[in-house]
């Protein structure tokens, strides 16, 4: 089986990185990442954006469970007569259910982010690119995973896109 390499190329600007990322994607490279110290609005992410169904679903389920627990307690397990108000009244059960539903959706958003961002991953091969300073805010990096045999063609291609420093690391 052919050895795979992670080719890490430093570009000079955010625009250059966005352009190189786009070109690499169109050239058929699908295992690639653009790394930067801040979000890049100009970068077109070809991966399909996720919908909000996960967070919404968790929020609705949590709110529903909270509502049912309250209803069970207020109407069935311990019906308390407070100034003749009906034990089955649903309106007073909404506020707690609503805030707990929002909390559930918030937790789901956190879990979803951690999962999508593939965190925690304390070590990644890109950290082994010793000649690149990931802490530099002007450092814009394109990382492409390729077969070792593709390297001779990839290097000049990346240099043509404006890459200044190119390094290979084992994934």
- Residues binding other proteins (CB under 8 A): 14, 21, 33-41, 43, 45, 47, 49-50, 52, 55, 59, 66, 69-70, 73-74, 77-78, 80, 82, 85, 89, 92-93, 95-96, 98-100, 102-103, 105-107, 109-110, 112-114, 116-124, 126-127, 133-138, 143
Residue 123 C-beta: closest distance to other proteins, Å: 7
**Nearest-approach distance from CB 93 to other proteins, in angstroms:** 6
User: In the bound complex, what is the minimum distance in angstroms from residue 132's beta carbon to other proteins?
Assistant: 11
Whose Cβ is closer to other proteins: residue 2's or residue 83's?
Answer: 83
Q: Which is nearer to other proteins, 68 or 148 (CB)?
A: 68
Rounded distance between C-alpha atoms, residue 118 and residue 110, angstroms: 12
H/E/C letters for each residue in 66-110?
HHHHHHHHHHHHCCCCCCCCCCCCCHHHHHHHHHHHHHHHHHHHH
Q: How far apart, in whole angstroms, are the C-alpha atoms of residue 43 and residue 15?
A: 8
Least distance in Å: CB of 82 to other proteins? Answer: 6
Nearest residue (CB) to other proteins, 131 versus 152: 131
Buried b (16+ CB within 10 A) or exposed e, 62-86: bbeebbeebbeebeeeeeeeeeeee
In this complex, which beta carbon is closest to other proteins, that of residue 138 or of residue 149? 138
Q: d(Cα 160, Cα 162) in Å, to the nearest integer? A: 5
Whether 132 and 139 have beta carbons less than 8 Å apart is answered as yes
CA 108 from chain center: how many Å? 13
In the bound complex, what is the minimum distance in angstroms from residue 156's beta carbon to other proteins?
A: 24
Q: Toward other proteins, which CB reaches closer, 2 or 122?
A: 122
């Amino acid at each position: 089986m052919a050895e795979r390499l992670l080719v890490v190329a430093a570009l000079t600007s955010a625009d250059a990185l966005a352009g190189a990322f786009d070109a690499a994607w169109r050239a058929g490279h699908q295992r690639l990442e653009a790394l930067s110290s801040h979000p890049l609005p100009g970068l077109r992410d070809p991966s399909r954006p996720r919908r909000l169904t996960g967070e919404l679903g968790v929020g609705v389920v949590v709110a529903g469970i909270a509502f049912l627990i309250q209803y069970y307690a207020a109407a069935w397990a311990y019906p308390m007569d407070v100034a003749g108000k009906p034990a089955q009244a649903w309106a007073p059960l909404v506020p707690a259910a609503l805030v707990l539903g929002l909390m559930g959706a918030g937790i789901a958003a956190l879990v979803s982010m951690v999962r999508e961002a593939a965190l925690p991953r304390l070590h990644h091969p890109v950290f082994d690119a010793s000649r690149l300073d990931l802490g530099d805010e002007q450092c814009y990096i394109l990382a492409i995973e390729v077969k070792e045999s593709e390297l001779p063609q990839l290097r000049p291609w990346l240099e043509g896109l404006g890459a200044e420093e190119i390094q290979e690391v084992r994934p």
